[in-house]
Amino acid sequence: MKPEIIEALALELTKSKLANKDTTASDWVKAYKESHAEIEEVCDEGRVYHKPVAGGSRVF
């Protein structure tokens, strides 16, 4: 997933966590970092890692 998408999702998750609360800037930063980590964790669970394809001559 593109980093821009992950960042946008983290921001939206942060907004929903802190909605209607009296917060400071440090609360926002902490919540954003937590949200970003949660989203990356979920993305990594579904990621499939493939072995590199064996090299060879490529004639087109």
| pLDDT for residue 52 | 64
Tens place of pLDDT per residue across the chain (60 aa): 788 999 999 999 999 999 988 889 999 999 999 999 999 998 887 777 667 666 666 665
| pLDDT for residue 39 | 93
Q: Where are the beta strands (DSSP E) in the chain?
A: none
Total domains in the fold of the chain: 1
Residue 36 located in a structural domain: yes
Q: Residue 30 sits in which domain range?
A: 3-46
Residue 39 located in a structural domain: yes
Residue 59 located in a structural domain: no
Residue 56 located in a structural domain: no
Cα distance between residue 18 and residue 29, in whole Å? 11
| pLDDT for residue 1 | 78
Residue 29 located in a structural domain: yes
| pLDDT for residue 27 | 93
pTM, two decimal places:
0.69
Angle at which helices 25-46 and 3-17 cross, to 10°: 130
